[in-house]
Amino acid sequence: MSAAAVIDGQRALGFDLEAWSRVRLAQVEHALSQWVTAEVAQGLDHGAPAALVDAMRYAVLDGGKRLRPLLVLAAHEATSQSSAGDHPQAALRAACAVELIHAYSLVHDDMPCMDNDVLRRGKATVHIKFGEAGALLAGDALQALAFELLTPPDDGVPATVQARLCGLLARAAGSAGMAGGQAIDLASVGMALNERQLREMHQLKTGALLQGSVMMGAYCGAPDARALDALARYGAAIGLAFQVVDDILDVTADSATLGKTAGKDADHAKPTYVSVMGLSASQDYAQQLLVQSLAALDASGLGCTQALRGLANAVVHRAS
């Protein structure tokens, strides 16, 4: 099924994913542009160095699917209520924070000491444009800024919510999440992993931050235990599905479509779902994960899950 077919299907069900996404993406883009600036640091008499801010803005603005921010906002909408337990401003900050973490990870992953890539989001990678030291510092600064956004001193976000969001993001990005998965990935080059080992690696490298995005959005609302459990399962399924589809696209799409170098996994002898399971089985697995994600939403007890359903379909049926 094509991405257009997914959107048409959502419209037939009375939900326009494209229109929903357009509004939320505009909010996220505006907020990122406002917050990734030289003046963002609190309590300083002077701003950050202009060259560093330029590299940060180059890394995070005007590109990317923004899937993680959309998941934050969709999960918040699914769990939000008109009560003191609902924090929409925290959800927007969480959406931007998770995108900053994602952007920092791409900056570092593309560097010569990691994947040594020259193309990202259809343009030169940060280290190609700003140098290796500039890219390293830009990634470091984006990571720090993510947690600064989650802890505003005067934005009406309770300290308990701030702490919860910081903990979720730290775990998703750290040694038991994204960074740990990347370490396993680098150590697995040229090795023959089985499907279980591959799944465990990608549950950390890719899945943890996607699942974390869902959970951060949920905690900005007012979820019950049943909803939290179901959303955790939803996030785990689409987090893994995203990587399975990424591996499929690496061998079926070209660089212009992907906005990054196609075929690099095979060139670098990295284990992928296609190399371990084959193309057809990988495509079937992606569909199975989609079914699992939608079943989790069915079991959540939540009434406003159209956006989460649409995003799950978009993850599996995307072309880039």
SS3 for 100-150, per residue? HHHHHHHHHHCCCCCCCCCEECCEECHHHHHCHHHHHHHHHHHHHHHHHHC
The model's pLDDT over 230-258, given as tens digits with 9 standing for 90+, comes to 999 999 999 999 999 999 998 887 765 66
Banded model confidence at residue 1, pLDDT cuts 50, 70, 90: very low
Per-residue pLDDT, 253: 75
Find the mean pLDDT for residues 285-302: 97
Percent composition of the chain: helix, strand, coil (DSSP 3-state, to 5)? 70, 0, 30
- pLDDT tops 90 at residue 269: no
Q: For the ranges 69-73, 263-267, 304-308, which has the lowest average pLDDT?
A: 263-267
What is the CATH classification number for the domain harbouring 91?
Answer: 1.10.600.10
% residues pLDDT > 70 (the chain): 88
106: nearest Cα among 142, 74, 81: 142
pLDDT of amino acid 12: 39
Residue whose pair of structure tokens reads 């943890």 in the numeric block: 208
Segment 172-198, tens digit of pLDDT = 999 999 999 999 999 988 888 999 999
Count of domains for the chain: 1
Q: What is the pLDDT of residue 259?
A: 62
**Mean pLDDT over all residues of the chain?**
89
Q: Report how far residue 18's alpha carbon sits from residue 118's, in angstroms, rounded to the nearest whole number.
A: 30
Residue 320 tokens read as 């880039």
User: Dihedral sign, CA of 230, 235, 238, 239?
Assistant: negative
What's the pLDDT band for 261 if we cut at 50, 70, 90? low
**Domain assignment of residue 222, given as a range:** 3-317
Nearest CA to 238 among 156, 309, 312, 159?
312
